[in-house]
Amino acid sequence: MSGSVVLASTNSYFGLNVAGAFKKELDRKKWGEFHREMNKLKIKKRINVSENSDGSYNVEITNLGKNLVAKYNLDDLIIKKPEQWDGFWRFCSFDIPGPKKQARQALLSKLKELGFIMAQKSLWTHPFECREELAVIAKAFEVEPYIHFFVAHDLDKDLFLRKKFTSKTGIPLK
């Protein structure tokens, strides 16, 4: 099991007085995982952490961390339109288990928002490069193991997909 913890605040310093609450609510494994993820963020220079004399912590998000958060803000995530389409379709297929139904719904909502079109029930496609954006979405919704990405060219349904994409987004594909 892996994951990341991202802490953000409009104030560059904020207290983590909830450390005690975390320790009580999480078993040792979860606390250890949380601590490792915090250390990873420190090592990657995304945050600075200092302990106060009362046992609380100050966490400061670094400029590098702020840039990373801004780059991968789900609300601002877009797929850039190239000057000329390369003729390739990017496909996202997934088989997300039932207990992760909310994550599946969130994923579908975001795919639609980004201009993906449904090729089949769990197979969505986009004409522009979107591998990095899809990885961010999968990580955010914790469905990485269930998503597959591939690129295809020379499809029998190419004209249908072009028309559907243009109809949905207003962007003509030539």
Q: Domains of the chain, with CATH numbers?
A: 13-71 (no CATH), 75-169 (3.30.70.240)
* Mean pLDDT of the residues in the chain: 83
* pLDDT(152) > 90: yes
CA–CA distance, 134 with 140 (Å, rounded to integer):
10
Give pLDDT tens digits for 10-31: 444 444 444 555 555 555 666 6
Give pLDDT tens digits for 141-151: 889 999 999 99
**Distance set, CA 147 to CA 10, 96, 123 (Å):** 33, 8, 10
